[in-house]
Amino acid sequence: MAVTFYVLAENQQSIENELSDSPAHFALACQLCANFYRANQRVFVYTASQQDAELIDQLLWQFDADSFVPHNLSGEGPARGAPVEISWQPPRQSRQILINLANEIPAFASRFTDIIEFVPSQAAAKAQARERYKQYRQSGITPATVNAD
């Protein structure tokens, strides 16, 4: 299992759009979903709440038609699910990549070959990310870090 933490810069706190003032790491998660989709990877986006899952769903709908990312909330869409599934509950389908937007490592994380985590610039969220990083290290995994500029 490979774990990658995307570290956001201090000035990357939120994005403003028609819907709301969304956390910057949510926008980055959506862009990563698009990249993984174009690479024929199946992605599960795990959120802390139904509200967050619905926000990710809405952000993905804002992509231009020529860069659309087929996605659905868990339990919706086709029988095997779209290439990108979003939920605040454990996944129903087997996927390769977990994008974790929750504050803790989900119990089912070991089912994935690749895990994407974020280090937002806000102090509380940064502390939670550091704790997840330590937990991965304690389980024998050395996460990679990437600066998200």
> Tens of pLDDT along 2-34?
999 999 987 655 444 444 467 889 999 999 999
> Tens of pLDDT along 83-111?
999 999 999 888 999 999 999 999 999 99
> Tens of pLDDT along 59-74?
998 877 777 888 889 8
Q: What is the largest CA-CA distance in the chain?
A: 43
CATH number reported for the structural domain that contains residue 101 in this entry: 3.40.50.10110
pTM: 0.90
Residue 64's pLDDT is 76
Domain that holds residue 114: 2-148
Helices then strands, counting H and E runs in the chain, come out as 3, 9
Number of domains the chain contains: 1
What's the 3-state SS for 67-101? HCCCEEECCCCCCCCCCEEEECCCCCCCCCEEEEC
> Tens of pLDDT along 122-146?
889 999 999 999 999 999 999 999 9
